[in-house]
Amino acid sequence: MRKIEILGPAGSKEGIYAALNAGADAVYVGTSRFGARAFAKNPSVEELEEALVYAHLRDKKIYLTVNTLLTDQEIQGQLYEMIAPLYEAGLDACIVQDPGVMSFLHRNFPEMDLHASTQMTLFSGEEANLYKNLGVTRYVPARELSIEEIKQARKQTDLEMEVFVHGALCYCYSGQCLMSEVIGGRSGNRGMCAQPCRLAFEGDKGRKNYLNTKDICTLLYIPELVEAGIDSFKIEGRMKRWEYSAYMSHLYRRYVDLYQEQGIEKFDDLRRDRQSILWQDYRNSQDLYNRGGFSKSYLFETDNRAIMDTNRTGHYGVRVASVIRADSHQAQFLVDETIHPQDVLEFRNEKGEKVYEFTSGSSYEKGETAVTRILPGCGVKKGQSLFRTKNNRLLDKIQKYEENASSKVTLKGTFKAVRGENISFALEGRGVCAACRGDVWQEAQKRPVSEKEVRDKLGAMGATEYDLSELSVDMEEGFIPLGMLKKIRRETLEAWEQKAAVRRVTGEKIPGKTKDIPKQTKTVISVSSLEQLQAAMKQEKEGLTYYHVKLEVLPVADWEKAASLLEGVPYMISFPPILRGQGKEIWEKDWRGHGSVWKENRPEYFVINSQAAWLYAKKEFADLKLITDEMMYETNGEAEEVYRRMGAEAHMVQVYGRIRVMKSAGPLNTRKLITPKRDSFVADTHRTYGYVSIYTKDPVWSEKRDDFVNLDFTFEQGNEVKEVIRRWNL
């Protein structure tokens, strides 16, 4: 039977042990540096070293999140010093977003696995294969993929596949979000996301949480996930309490095992019966934490609107009662779901807003009526709902479960004693065997040592973390001091630990490459329409200028005209940065039908704006120069070197234009977005290709420089294009 890994989140030292003891086969965790959750209660390096020993003795694993973008200084200095002791302690893998970090880690720590983070926005196994030579053994595909896309990706690579099955869902394609940095200077790609997607924005239809996604839960779809070929079921939640990590790890382990052991018929019986233990656990999961209920994630949702909850962020809780009468001092409610003592409850109005909160002092069963005091004028009215935001009995259950969870390492022992020979004791567990020899087994002068005494001394593991489940004793009548039995037990345990705990030796540090200073900067004028292209070409330019036609937004009907205008002029083209599913099929049909205009008047460069673009470059543009844009993050020399080895000759950065802060598969029924602090954004829906782009409302200028600098035009009119180019020349 194929072993499927349950991968639990750990935002703290407590979370590591809780998840591992609850059923997780592995946990992912960060330190205070270079992880995407910088504000989690991350363990220290020393605490991680201890946790690695604990995990490895139980045949479990720990993965370190190094999934942010790093500078040259951080890679050359801090990164190596942080990883080296963990590598020696047997760190199982690092989860990485930055190709430069991948390259550096693979070169300096070659025996450690690397996992390509979901923040790389990989849509296929073919895209993941691009990074095999950097030591990648596993990848986490973009969370927007459907189950059919997952199945297809599984066929395209022999890399392990890790998929998010539970927890929070970003509105934006992971790693493609700059909103937090633009609003408050807290970059999500530097581990400091302020979650602006949870804000109540002012839009075309009033103030709503337009970008707020529900948490996902796939407990009910475990058979489909298993049969899709997923290797690791990943639970999101490094910012949550250890109880969350423990409980969700326990549930997913439980139901994956149930399906694999008992088959689809048993699982379907549980799915059909809304009173089954499966549905009870599903409801308990909602009680523990949910945002607007659960969604089936993009894996199983056919209507992306079901992903969203525009009314409320944070923990939604579960509805437990309805108000049947209320006056200025008290409210009477009818109980729909059992309420326990110390449950935290809140009344909500028709908009889902909290009007009054209290802690239950008693237990109430379904069908009972109850009364609670309220503050005058708080707004509790007949017909409102009562929600539970803290299930005290569930938390007690999880805590007791954790206290009683077995953390013992199970071993088998073999003892042999023959007169005239040295006694021997061997321990075996998780495929590792260690043996030690003691003193000579002597003929007994008075009372021989009994088999019971031998078993008692060797099996007395006491307060240790070991449990001797079996002990084979082969002994002749004889004698040896009982203290010698304790000594050989201790020495054999130590020998087994040394073998079972993974240890490595760190080699001499191999320095990396720092980012080159561009010798000459060239200008790129990126256009979204025929009008912008015509205006740009009429405006005088200083120095060598390239035109960049964004086929993502240029209508197919204008391709021939644009190609004709660019005849004899240095230019480049780019494909839509999000190409998957039906959108990809539409694009490839248009390209087959109309793309010849770009082949007849060949561009000089093809712009790499996504991981998928590398594949198109190999297939369609083997003769063209390649250039990476600002979404192919190149924050260090190692990344620059990786991209050059992949064929890119240069990199370009945006120096003018609206910043694209998000690309999302989620629906958006507003054109404008204004934060409570009046930061303004504008949305553009690419309906053909099935995604939304969100830009800053106003264009910005930047002092950044690289091989190429980009004047990026989105919604500008022709006269605005001319004015920007004029200013740039000045």
Is residue 303 pLDDT above 80, yes or no? Answer: yes
Is residue 667 pLDDT above 70, yes or no? Answer: yes
Is residue 308 pLDDT above 80, yes or no? Answer: yes
Token couple for 28: 């992912």
- pLDDT for 430 equals 82
Question: Which of helix, strand or coil describes residue 439?
Answer: strand
Beta bridge partners, 318, equal 388
CA angle 175-86-27, nearest 5°?
A: 55
CA–CA separation, 414 vs 211, rounded Å? Answer: 61
Beta bridge partners, 468, equal 411
Token couple for 77: 């200095």
Is residue 405 pLDDT above 70, yes or no? Answer: no
| CA-based end-to-end distance of the chain | 69
- pLDDT for 39 equals 61
List C-alpha distances in Å: 451 to 411, 454, 466: 19, 5, 21
SS3 helix, strand, coil % of the chain, rounded to 5? 35, 25, 40
* Residue environment code for 290-320, b if the CB has 16+ CB neighbours within 10 A, otherwise e: bbbebbbbbbbeeebeebbbbebbebbbbeb
What's the chain's Rg over C-alpha atoms? 31
Backbone angles phi, psi at 58, to 5 degrees: -110, 15
Name the one residue in this structure whose structure tokens are 């694999």. 260
Q: Among 123, 172, 307, 168, which Cα is nearest to 693's?
A: 172
Is residue 33 pLDDT above 80, yes or no? Answer: no
- pLDDT for 638 equals 96
pLDDT, tens digit, 9 for 90 and up, residues 560-603:
999 999 999 999 999 999 999 999 999 999 999 999 999 889 99
CA–CA separation, 323 vs 383, rounded Å? Answer: 5
- pLDDT for 38 equals 60
Question: Which secondary structure element, helix H or strand E, spans residue 87, and what is its range?
Answer: helix 80-88
CA–CA separation, 508 vs 111, rounded Å? Answer: 14
Token couple for 146: 């459907």
Question: Which of helix, strand or coil describes residue 523?
Answer: strand
Token couple for 194: 């302020």
Percent over 90 (pLDDT), the chain: 75
- pLDDT for 692 equals 95
Q: Among 663, 656, 626, which Cα is nearest to 644's?
A: 626
Would you place residue 503 in the very low, low, confident or very high pLDDT band (cuts 50, 70, 90)?
confident
Token couple for 283: 């409801």
Backbone angles phi, psi at 360, to 5 degrees: -70, 135
CA–CA separation, 160 vs 136, rounded Å? Answer: 9
Is residue 94 pLDDT above 70, yes or no? Answer: yes
Q: For 512-526, 646-660, 707-721, which range has the lowest pLDDT when averaged over its residues?
A: 512-526
For 366-402, the DSSP string reads TT-EEEEE--TTS---TT-EEEEEE-HHHHHHHHHHH
Instruction: Please answer whether residues 128 and 114 qualify as being in contact, where contact means their C-beta atoms are separated by less than 8 angstroms.
Output: no
Token couple for 667: 């629906």
- pLDDT for 128 equals 97
Q: How does DSSP classify residue 527?
A: E
Backbone angles phi, psi at 680, to 5 degrees: -115, 140
Token couple for 478: 């004889």
pTM recorded for the entire structure: 0.93
Mean pLDDT value across the chain: 92
pLDDT, tens digit, 9 for 90 and up, residues 468-480:
889 999 998 888 8
Would you place residue 357 in the very low, low, confident or very high pLDDT band (cuts 50, 70, 90)?
very high
Is residue 540 pLDDT above 90, yes or no? Answer: no
Beta bridge partners, 332, equal 325, 371
- pLDDT for 42 equals 83
- pLDDT for 54 equals 92
Percent over 70 (pLDDT), the chain: 98
- pLDDT for 504 equals 87
φ/ψ region of 175 (left if φ > 0, alpha if ψ in -120 to 50, else beta) reads left
Is residue 403 pLDDT above 80, yes or no? Answer: no
Instruction: Please answer whether residues 69 and 188 qualify as being in contact, where contact means their C-beta atoms are separated by less than 8 angstroms.
Output: no
In terms of residues, how long is the chain?
730
pLDDT, tens digit, 9 for 90 and up, residues 625-655:
999 999 999 999 999 999 999 999 999 999 9
Is residue 77 pLDDT above 90, yes or no? Answer: no
Beta bridge partners, 711, equal 525, 656
- pLDDT for 180 equals 84
CA–CA separation, 146 vs 581, rounded Å? Answer: 9
Beta bridge partners, 709, equal 523, 653
Mean pLDDT of 661-673: 93
List C-alpha distances in Å: 81 to 13, 27, 78, 95, 621: 21, 22, 5, 17, 41
CA–CA separation, 531 vs 346, rounded Å? Answer: 56
Question: Which of helix, strand or coil describes residue 19?
Answer: helix
Token couple for 335: 């109980």
Is residue 36 pLDDT above 70, yes or no? Answer: no
Question: Which of helix, strand or coil describes residue 18?
Answer: helix
- pLDDT for 480 equals 85
Beta bridge partners, 115, equal 95, 138
Beta bridge partners, 686, equal 691
CA–CA separation, 150 vs 228, rounded Å? Answer: 7
- pLDDT for 40 equals 64
Q: How does DSSP classify residue 637?
A: H
CA–CA separation, 109 vs 302, rounded Å? Answer: 43
Would you place residue 459 in the very low, low, confident or very high pLDDT band (cuts 50, 70, 90)?
confident
What is the bridge-based pairing of β-strands 660-664 and 691-696? antiparallel
Helix pair angle (277-288, 392-404), 10° resolution: 110
Instruction: Please answer whether residues 213 and 307 qualify as being in contact, where contact means their C-beta atoms are separated by less than 8 angstroms.
Output: yes
What is the bridge-based pairing of β-strands 432-440 and 385-390? unpaired
Instruction: Please answer whether residues 20 and 60 qualify as being in contact, where contact means their C-beta atoms are separated by less than 8 angstroms.
Output: yes
Question: Which of helix, strand or coil describes residue 332?
Answer: strand
Is residue 118 pLDDT above 90, yes or no? Answer: yes
- pLDDT for 404 equals 62
Would you place residue 532 in the very low, low, confident or very high pLDDT band (cuts 50, 70, 90)?
very high
For 177-236, the DSSP string reads --HHHHHHS--GGGT----GGGS-EEETTEEE-TTPBPEEE-GGGHHHHHHTT-SEEEE-
Is residue 50 pLDDT above 80, yes or no? Answer: yes
Mean pLDDT of 262-288: 97
Question: Which of helix, strand or coil describes residue 628?
Answer: strand
Would you place residue 175 in the very low, low, confident or very high pLDDT band (cuts 50, 70, 90)?
confident
Is residue 401 pLDDT above 80, yes or no? Answer: no
Q: For 132-141, 447-456, 620-629, 653-662, which range has the lowest pLDDT when averaged over its residues?
A: 447-456
Adjacency order of strands within the sheet including 318-326: 354-359, 344-348, 385-390, 318-326, 330-335, 369-373
Question: Which of helix, strand or coil describes residue 28?
Answer: strand
- pLDDT for 274 equals 95
Question: Which of helix, strand or coil describes residue 513?
Answer: coil
CA–CA separation, 529 vs 557, rounded Å? Answer: 11
CA–CA separation, 554 vs 713, rounded Å? Answer: 12
